[in-house]
Structure 1
């Protein structure tokens, strides 16, 4: 950012690296899927567990007990996320052979493997059909209610926004126009004028 600060849990995280931000408990997805296409679903989820690794390179090379125990813990955590998002049937399938909608869910699953307190979703319904968007809404609600993770998303599909959001913020050229419930924001005169025309 050119100005301002980003405060998360009473800490200024504005200038932290992506790795440091993940270490603070913030994970994100991408609008355009950023998965490793030749790797399996499980392998992609294990990438999200990387920030939890505590072993050194020499311990990894020697495959010490600590390395083996940690790998079991990482696999267990990834399996739990696959259970929550019902991805077990794709566990060993290479990403490149999966449909787009499943890949979007796997992208969310990988972010969950980071173990976030805050999950940032960039256009989670982008490219999804109505049925897949409905499923994504259910996942978002479940992530919040069952896992207790705060979800912040950028989204243009107002039906999805209405279903999953406690608060909605409408921006116009980076400036706040309205903040409130979905209905309040959608009916705000400035929002109507900016997005639908006066």
Structure 2
């Protein structure tokens, strides 16, 4: 038993025998011893090759498992990325649709505003034709009034004729109308 405990490991013994074989003079050993040493060396090499194969197989399996884990992780990340991209595309589509809706509503509001202004103009014209007791401003051509409107012409007249009135009191014209020039042939003009 003491011999087994003190002896070096088998692999070390085989390496030692190989080193001894290289150091020893081949002519000094017998052919039988040489063959025995060679057979032991070949057996040791075969055992070492088997150990290396097992180690490599274990390493290959570990590497394959790591590779599979990495591949699964990459696929999982890829799937999450695809889901995120799909969500982003859906959000962009919704945003685009909302922007289109906003633009359509803005255009509709502009058209509605234009229509309201046109209707207000028509109401003003109708109101002007219906009301007869209006002030007729002599000396102001209708073309000038069309550019500024009746309110604008009245503001200008007040500013020219009553300069202090505009500064003291804020005079705001509520409505000014112009009657159409209808000549009544039976009535004398003034």
TM-score by length of 2: 0.20
Larger strand proportion of the pair: 1
Greater relative CO, 1 or 2 (CA 8 Å, sep 6+):
1
TM-score by length of 1: 0.19
